[in-house]
């Protein structure tokens, strides 16, 4: 496959002003009539260039230019492109293609899911529908007429407003949609199905009434309310915080079961993976509700950050994704607890994005090259991209950041632009120079910030020497220092924050400072300190870096209970737990577990004055995935054993406290979805899980009772998970069976049921995983099912996946090869755990590498998988 380089970007030779589409939908295929109004781009240097239209898996029926059918010699149908060598300055091109949505298992372009037609055009799916200059800098107005059987497909949707509808012969009907906003083809959408409509309205800040509609299969009609409310909250928030008003008269959301990602922000017609939009108290966990709120908001926010202002090319993907993730994280923080949201975001970043940055597919937030763009919908583009925008926000402050975003939207409305245009708008609005900051977009890898301190008791001066280093990544060495905002504070021995006086004369310095690191090494001095302070570093995780500082366990225990920064209190607890677990890896069973860890957790469990949402997070031990990420040559079974030992030790030591915590927090009265109730359920389920890890008989009774009487999915699944992960084998079997019987007709709940088993150290061993793949509810064509068994096993059940006999690796390689033929995007995502082979101890890494080589040697490797496998082996 060919590599595409940012440095080779050229403006399009031709622009499309208008697209007229007519879809004839049938059971055995679809005919697509497209009329493009094309003109030469005055900004292109390629005068007289041939017209080049992308295509993929299309059967061309005819081509006409200005109404005259072109003869075979007047164009070239190359399979992946339609080329017309000679065209006038301005013309109409009519193309008719035949496609087979019913056979489209890639889920790119137009396909069928549970009997309905739907589309996924980002990034390059529109070319699977018709020949088109399928690049985001070609923006056109679309008019779309859909024709289909009225009985089977009563609902026909596309972008914009519906402008005509009527009956046709043979029981067919049509609807025509017109989108007044020019857009790239990746934002095109079509849906046809037998769907129920849920209606609502929203009045914008300028008083316009917007029709809000959700379209779902009839069986899901009762699962729409939460998403609809989340949508309204998002619309109001974007007006209040960013001054962004919705622009069409209608906003639609559709839920489909088969979808490669979470959702898609098509203009006025967002399409969602059912699991990211449908929810009820009975079927969705608290985590699912929160995810739905965040994704509904994310897709809605794209209407401005992505649709009205879009990307010039796919190297700029983070322009819309990083900014929009930042916006949705601000929204979630405002809807709940900012500290808890920050902890969740940083957990994902440090566990998975740092691993990506240290792996073979490491790339900058603005990549310089790619083979297959679908492989670049990564944590780096999304999460690190959001961190980069967050740093700009922190450097500029609320007011100037808002001035910058206003300028960006105003300056570039209706345009396809670059990350550099975004930074420039921020610079112009604030007067700040962000030239060095731009390196965050260009350099891959996670900066390592190492901190040394010293204290001169005679002078009362405390010094910090801070160095930064950015590791080499594939194709990038010798990196320059980046502009790092480093928030910090100092505490005295009583836990009181100290004024940060940076000169001898200063007296009432601020209690927190954001140090701006721009050099490879800096020294900062703080004056007027009567005792050696305890540093609180990188508060609120002010930059996506690894901090190295030789924390003692005393310091961590101290920060855990005294740091005024909630995030850092949590982080101190994590660092302490990591240190304790790491110190036990490979030690004999009877080695002592640091006793102060249990003391610290006991304090947390029993202090009702603490924010219980934060306590719930602090009680979660660092995940195995995070411990692996921190390890040099990871021996997963040894890490797993050490973590289990700490978990069981804590459960044993804190039995009574855990039981008391459970009883205190067990919900009385009606189910609530507020932050307090969520924290209480989380505390109960953590306490239950810990106690069940030591097969505590009282906990078993509680788990069985909770499982039987739960009036919501968080509690039911919490109890099921505790039973499944316990040694009570008979209870486990019974609970799994009764859960399945109750929810077998609900695909989203069945996915939870699969993933509880696939992630379990007890139940999720390979022979059982193989049985799950044979289960009648498992479906290879459904990405959610594949993710909930194969993805969860390889990504979350680390000890089973890294079985020393290599069976987990061979299993994954086999499933990846099988999936590559039907859905390359899913195959190439699923292979990720194997690509990290260099991270593991030799006995493991050699077998992982061999499994990857097996995939490499498969016939007809897709471009998606080819890129990932070859880069991982390079």
Residues within the interface to ligand HT7 (CB under 6 A): 120, 122-123, 260-261, 263-265, 298-299, 302, 321, 374, 377, 825
DSSP annotation of 527 reads B
Beta bridge partners of 167: 173
Which residue number, 145 or 390, has a Cβ lying nearer to Zn ion? 390
Which residue number, 387 or 427, has a Cβ lying nearer to ligand HT7? 387
Which residue number, 34 or 324, has a Cβ lying nearer to Zn ion? 324
Q: The tokens of 583 are what? A: 């110190």
3-state secondary structure of 54: strand
The distance of closest approach from Cβ of residue 125 to ligand HT7 in the complex, given in angstroms and rounded to an integer, is 7
Residues 667-706, one symbol each (x = binds Zn ion by CB under 5 A, - = not), give ----------------------------------------
The distance of closest approach from Cβ of residue 117 to ligand HT7 in the complex, given in angstroms and rounded to an integer, is 17
The distance of closest approach from Cβ of residue 372 to ligand HT7 in the complex, given in angstroms and rounded to an integer, is 10
Which residue number, 321 or 357, has a Cβ lying nearer to Zn ion? 321
Element (H, E) at 555: helix 553-562
Size of the site for Zn ion (CB under 5 A): 2
Which residue number, 385 or 764, has a Cβ lying nearer to Zn ion? 385
Q: What are phi and psi of 397, to 5 degrees?
A: 85, 165
The distance of closest approach from Cβ of residue 325 to ligand HT7 in the complex, given in angstroms and rounded to an integer, is 8
Instruction: State the Rg of the chain over Cα.
Output: 28
Return the closest-CA partner of residue 650 out of 722, 581, 703: 581
CB-neighbour burial class of residue 716 (10 A; exposed 0-12, middle 13-18, buried 19+): buried
Element (H, E) at 26: strand 14-26
Return the closest-CA partner of residue 295 out of 244, 337, 259, 319: 259
The distance of closest approach from Cβ of residue 370 to Zn ion in the complex, given in angstroms and rounded to an integer, is 18
Q: CA angle, 736 as apex, 733 and 740 as ends, to 5°? A: 140
With contacts defined by CB under 5 A, name the span among 151-159, 316-324, 467-475, 789-797 that binds Zn ion: 316-324
Find out whether 564 and 611 touch, Cβ atoms under 8 Å.
no
The distance of closest approach from Cβ of residue 381 to ligand HT7 in the complex, given in angstroms and rounded to an integer, is 9
CB-neighbour burial class of residue 69 (10 A; exposed 0-12, middle 13-18, buried 19+): exposed
Among the listed residues 108, 299, 344, 751, the single catalytic one is 299
Which residue number, 262 or 761, has a Cβ lying nearer to Zn ion? 262
The distance of closest approach from Cβ of residue 613 to ligand HT7 in the complex, given in angstroms and rounded to an integer, is 27
Quick one: what does residue 374 bind among Zn ion, ligand HT7, none, with the CB cut-off 5 to 8 Å set by partner type? ligand HT7
The distance of closest approach from Cβ of residue 782 to Zn ion in the complex, given in angstroms and rounded to an integer, is 22
Pinpoint the alpha helices (H) of 317-412: 317-335, 338-348, 354-357, 379, 385-412
Quick one: what does residue 260 bind among Zn ion, ligand HT7, none, with the CB cut-off 5 to 8 Å set by partner type? ligand HT7
Which residue number, 273 or 324, has a Cβ lying nearer to Zn ion? 324
Q: Terminal CA-to-CA distance of the chain, rounded, Å?
A: 15
Return the closest-CA partner of residue 261 out of 270, 247, 272, 245: 272
Q: The tokens of 510 are what? A: 């601020």
CA distance 313 to 123: 10
Q: The tokens of 679 are what? A: 């924290």
Quick one: what does residue 122 bind among ligand HT7, Zn ion, none, with the CB cut-off 5 to 8 Å set by partner type? ligand HT7
Q: Which of residues 323-342 bind Zn ion (CB under 5 A)?
A: 324
The distance of closest approach from Cβ of residue 269 to Zn ion in the complex, given in angstroms and rounded to an integer, is 15
Which residue number, 258 or 629, has a Cβ lying nearer to ligand HT7? 258
β-pairing verdict for 59-65 and 51-54: unpaired
Quick one: what does residue 444 bind among ligand HT7, Zn ion, none, with the CB cut-off 5 to 8 Å set by partner type? none
Which residue number, 123 or 253, has a Cβ lying nearer to ligand HT7? 123
* CA separation, residue 114 to residues 102, 256, 338, 388, 823 (Å): 10, 8, 39, 39, 17
Find out whether 304 and 412 touch, Cβ atoms under 8 Å.
no
Q: The tokens of 368 are what? A: 């310089």
Quick one: what does residue 630 bind among ligand HT7, Zn ion, none, with the CB cut-off 5 to 8 Å set by partner type? none
3-state secondary structure of 874: coil
3-state secondary structure of 490: strand
Is 299 one of the catalytic residues?
A: yes
Q: The tokens of 257 are what? A: 């079961």
Q: Who contacts 466 (Cβ-Cβ below 8 Å, separation ≥6)?
A: 449, 450, 451, 486, 515, 517, 521, 522, 523, 524
Residues catalogued as catalytic: 299
Residues in the site for Zn ion, rule: CB under 5 A?
Answer: 321, 324
């Amino acid at each position: 496959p060919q590599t595409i380089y940012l440095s080779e970007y050229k403006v399009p030779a031709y622009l499309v002003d208008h697209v007229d589409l007519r879809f004839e939908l049938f059971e055995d295929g679809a005919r697509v009539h497209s009329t493009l109004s094309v003109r030469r781009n005055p900004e292109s240097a390629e005068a007289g260039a041939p017209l080049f239209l992308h295509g993929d898996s299309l059967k061309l029926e005819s081509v006409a230019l200005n109404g005259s059918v072109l003869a075979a010699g007047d164009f070239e149908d190359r399979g992946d492109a339609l080329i017309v060598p000679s065209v006038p300055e301005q013309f109409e091109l009519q193309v008719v293609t035949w496609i087979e949505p019913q056979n489209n298992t890639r889920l790119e372009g137009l396909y069928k899911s549970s009997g309905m037609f739907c589309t996924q055009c980002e990034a390059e799916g529109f070319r699977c529908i018709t020949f088109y200059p399928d690049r985001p800098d070609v923006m056109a107005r679309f008019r779309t007429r859909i024709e289909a059987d009225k009985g089977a497909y009563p609902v026909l949707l596309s972008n914009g407003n519906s402008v005509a509808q009527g009956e046709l012969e043979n029981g067919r009907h049509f609807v025509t949609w017109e989108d007044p906003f020019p857009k790239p083809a990746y934002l095109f959408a079509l849906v046809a199905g037998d769907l129920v409509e849920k209606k609502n309205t929203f009045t914008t800040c300028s008083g316009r009434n917007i029709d809000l509609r959700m379209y779902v299969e009839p069986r899901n009609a009762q699962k729409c309310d939460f998403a609809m409310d989340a949508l309204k909250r998002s619309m109001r928030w974007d007006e209040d915080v960013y001054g962004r008003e919705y622009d069409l008269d209608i906003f639609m959301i559709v839920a489909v079961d088969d979808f490669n990602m979470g959702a898609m922000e098509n203009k006025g017609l967002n399409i969602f993976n059912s699991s990211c939009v449908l929810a009820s108290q009975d079927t969705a966990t608290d985590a699912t509700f929160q995810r739905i709120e965040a994704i509904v908001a994310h897709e809605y926010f794209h209407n401005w950050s992505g649709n009205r202002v879009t990307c010039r090319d796919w190297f700029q993907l983070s322009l819309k994704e990083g900014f929009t993730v930042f916006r949705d994280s601000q929204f979630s923080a405002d809807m709940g607890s900012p500290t808890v949201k920050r902890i969740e975001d940083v957990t994902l970043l440090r566990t998975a994005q740092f691993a990506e940055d240290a792996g073979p597919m490491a790339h900058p937030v603005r990549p310089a090259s790619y083979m297959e763009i679908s492989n670049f919908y990564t944590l780096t583009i999304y999460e690190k991209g959001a961190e980069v925008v967050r740093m700009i926000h922190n450097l500029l402050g609320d007011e100037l950041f808002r001035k910058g975003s206003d300028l960006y939207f105003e300056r570039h409305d209706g345009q396809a632009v670059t990350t550099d245009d975004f930074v420039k708008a921020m610079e112009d609005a604030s007067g700040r120079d962000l030239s060095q900051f731009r390196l965050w977009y260009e350099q891959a890898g996670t900066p390592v910030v190492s901190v040394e301190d010293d204290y001169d008791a005679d002078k009362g001066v405390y010094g910090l020497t801070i160095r930064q280093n950015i590791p080499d990544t594939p194709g990038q060495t010798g990196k320059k220092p980046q502009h790092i905002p480093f928030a910090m504070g100092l505490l005295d021995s009583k836990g009181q924050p100290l004024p940060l006086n940076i000169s001898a004369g200063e007296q009432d310095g601020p209690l927190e400072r954001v140090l701006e690191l721009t050099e490879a090494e800096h020294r900062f001095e703080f004056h007027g300190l009567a005792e050696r302070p305890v540093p609180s570093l990188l508060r609120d995780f002010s930059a996506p870096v690894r901090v190295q500082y030789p924390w003692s366990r005393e310091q961590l225990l101290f920060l855990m209970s005294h740091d005024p920064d909630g995030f850092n209190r949590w982080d101190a607890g994590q660092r302490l737990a990591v240190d304790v677990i790491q110190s036990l890896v490979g030690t004999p069973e009877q080695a002592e577990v640091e006793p102060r860890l249990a003391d610290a957790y006991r304090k947390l469990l029993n202090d009702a004055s603490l924010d219980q949402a934060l306590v719930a997070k602090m009680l979660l031990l660092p995940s195995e995935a995070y411990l692996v990420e921190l390890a040099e040559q990871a021996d997963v079974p040894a890490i797993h054993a050490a973590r289990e030992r700490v978990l069981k030790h804590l459960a044993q030591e804190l039995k009574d406290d855990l039981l008391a915590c459970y009883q205190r927090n067990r919900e009385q009265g009606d189910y609530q979805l507020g932050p307090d109730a969520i924290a209480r359920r989380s505390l109960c389920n953590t306490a239950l899980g810990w106690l069940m890890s030591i097969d505590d008989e009282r906990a078993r009774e509680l788990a069985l009772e909770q499982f039987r009487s739960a009036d919501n999915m968080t509690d039911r699944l919490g109890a099921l998970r505790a039973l499944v992960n316990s040694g009570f084998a008979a209870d486990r079997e019974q609970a799994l069976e009764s859960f399945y019987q109750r929810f077998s007709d609900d695909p989203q709940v069945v996915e939870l049921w699969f993933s509880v088993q696939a992630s379990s150290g007890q139940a999720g061993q390979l022979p059982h995983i193989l049985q799950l793949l044979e289960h009648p509810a498992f479906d290879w064509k459904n990405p959610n099912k594949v993710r909930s068994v194969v993805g969860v096993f390889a990504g979350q059940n680390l000890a089973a996946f890294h079985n020393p006999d290599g069976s987990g690796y061979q299993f994954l390689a086999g499933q990846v090869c099988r999936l590559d033929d039907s859905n390359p995007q899913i195959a190439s995502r699923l292979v990720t755990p194997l690509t990290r082979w260099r991270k593991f101890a030799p006995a493991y890494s050699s077998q992982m590498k061999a499994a990857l080589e097996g995939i490499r040697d498969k016939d007809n490797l897709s471009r998606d998988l080819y890129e990932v496998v070859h880069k991982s082996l390079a």
